[in-house]
Structure 1
Amino acid sequence: MYALDALKTMKIGEVLQIIADCPQSFQSVPEETVKHGYELVINPKKITQDIYFYIRVIK
């Protein structure tokens, strides 16, 4: 997941927006977010084919 590389370069408190179109990401992105110590700011939102995630750096 390229988002993990981006999150590693971010500062505490910053939020990364991820836009995905793979249905599997609805489950995998939140799981990987928690697994790697980040915070899912709001529940994923599906708009048409795209799924929006917002992940905050907390460590």
Structure 2
Amino acid sequence: MFSLETLQGLPKGAVLEILADCPQSFGTVPEEVVRAGYEMVEAPEKIGPTLRFLVRVPE
């Protein structure tokens, strides 16, 4: 997952906004993010066809 590679390069405490248009992302993105040791800042948000995720690098 490209976003996980991006998260690895961010400093502690940084927040990454992930936008997706695949309906399957609603379940898979939060699962993969938490499994990789990152934090979901808030519940996924659906804006039209776009899904928005905010992910924090733990401190």
Same fold, TM-score > 0.5, yes or no: yes
How far 1:16 moved relative to its partner?
0.3
Matches within 5 A, 1:1-59: 1-58=1-58
Which whole-Å deviations, capped at 9, do the CAs of 1:13-59 have from their partners, x for residues lacking one? 00000000000000000000110000000000000000000000005
**SS of the counterpart of 1:54?**
strand
State the Cα RMSD in Å: 0.7
TM-score (norm 2): 0.97
- Structure 1 residues not aligned, in runs of 5+: none
Structure 1 segments of 4 or more deviating over 3 A? none
Query: When the two structures are superposed, what TM-score results if normalisation uses the length of structure 1?
Result: 0.97
The number of residue pairs the alignment matches comes to 59
